[in-house]
Amino acid sequence: MVKREIKKAVLAYSGGLDTSIILKWLQDEYKCEVVTFTADLGQGEEVEPARAKALKFGIKEENIYILDLKEEFVKDFVFPMFRANAIYEGEYLLGTSIARPLISKKQIEIAHATGADAVSHGATGKGNDQVRFELGYLSLDPSIAVIAPWREWDLNSRTKLLKYAEEHGIEIDKKGKKSLYSMDANLLHISYEGEILEDPNHEPEEDMWLWSVSPENAPDEAEYITISYKFGDPVAINGEEMTPATLLTALNAYGNKHGIGRIDIVENRFVGMKARGCYETPGGTIMLKAHRAIESITLDREEAHLKDELMPKYAKLIYNGFWWSPERKMLQASIDATQETVNGEVKLKLYKGNVMVVGRKSDESLYSEEHSTFEEDEVYNQADAEGFIRLNALRFIIEGKKQPERIKNLVGELKL
């Protein structure tokens, strides 16, 4: 394979095994200058050590970017996604998927700021992330060159990676110790893949879960919280206003305490195969329940139903990496237009893995007690329902008269 001529590349760099090797590999294989970019998305690990590691590789200080993106991540990516109640294949809250467009965006911004002509990532050729990263890059800069080492090199096993590290003097923390799972974390979730999880019939070990107590060991007493909403976004917990990242952090703490947000799924990857993964999304699980609750009293019926019909398409676009696509932006505009009246409070009960809605109120609520009461009222004439029903049944009545044999076949032995 003929190497492209690359002058400078921006690498999404964590400082871990894979990206440390990629950094050295880029220098050796492409003979290019490397700019490192480390994103703090609330993954719970120190990101600053990546600076020292990059300096050891000879990266110039001005070419080392370590950015705190937690607020931008939640405000501009997580919250818009939750306005849609997005969930992929009925269970996955898209924690990894939604982080990739932000990382892609920042890599392109850094490339433009530093005059780089390429970007690089550490995603493998089997997964979704390579697609998500690269669709992001090319959507934001069609002329950028993309280097995906896992599709080029022959270092296709951990053993080969460790040997490469040893031969090139790359210091890796706990070198030689095999990590049990492949994990990805940010402020929204943490994921686990690989090893024993590759057997979809093998229950994960309890000590795999890092963010939450098991529901069995969660407190025996329920806890109540109230989330306030404004234009479809959560803005306060128990009356205390918070920034987006601070609020999600607080919800994570509540969820972790009560064993909320664990799932074990087999999902259909965009590249074709099925993959088993386990996820902890404590704060997101609480947010989804609360958002649907406040929408239940503030959205018109058909508006809410149409949102639910659009949601699987929206979620699939995010899962497959099309955040920057025109169709996702079009759907987002429609979704956001529905959120103008999604204001109010939701009261939740948290108990042993469960999130239960126990109250919701809004100044813009469409719920009418006088119409829905079982007691006597003066606003609804129950006799009106007869005409409503007969008009909706009119086509059935006509069909029954015009095509009686067809109706008999439909009802089988039942005598009309």
Provide DSSP, 59-118.
Answer: --GGGEEEEE-HHHHIIIIIHHHHHTT--BTTTB--TTGGGHHHHHHHHHHHHHHHT-SE
Q: How many CB atoms lie within 10 A of CB 336?
A: 14
Name the percent of the chain lying above pLDDT 90: 82
Q: What is the pLDDT of residues 258-284, one digit of tens each?
A: 999 999 999 999 999 999 999 999 999
83 annotated active-site? no
Over residues 96-107, mean pLDDT: 98
Position 389 scores a pLDDT of: 95
Could you tell me which CATH class the domain 183-299+342-361 is placed in? Answer: alpha beta
Position 178 scores a pLDDT of: 47
pTM of the model: 0.93
List 20, 51, 104, 129, catalytic entry: 129
Of how many residues is the chain composed? 416
Position 131 scores a pLDDT of: 98
Q: What is the pLDDT of residues 218-264, one digit of tens each?
A: 999 999 999 999 999 999 999 999 999 999 999 999 999 999 999 99
Given pLDDT bands bounded at 50, 70 and 90, which one contains residue 414?
low
Angstrom CA distances, 209 to 173, 192, 263, 264, 353, stand at 22, 9, 11, 11, 14
List 18, 51, 120, 328, catalytic entry: 18
List 182, 296, 325, 365, catalytic entry: 182
Domain 8-70+98-178: which topology? Rossmann fold (3.40.50)
199 annotated active-site? no
Given pLDDT bands bounded at 50, 70 and 90, which one contains residue 216?
very high
Where in the chain are the domains?
8-70+98-178, 183-299+342-361, 372-411
List 20, 51, 83, 100, catalytic entry: 100
Can you say how many angstroms the Cα of residue 121 is from the centroid of all Cα atoms in its chain? Answer: 19
182 annotated active-site? yes
Q: What is the pLDDT of residues 324-381, one digit of tens each?
A: 999 999 999 999 999 999 999 999 999 999 999 999 999 999 998 888 888 888 898 9
Residue pair 197/181 in contact (Cβ under 8 Å)? The answer is yes
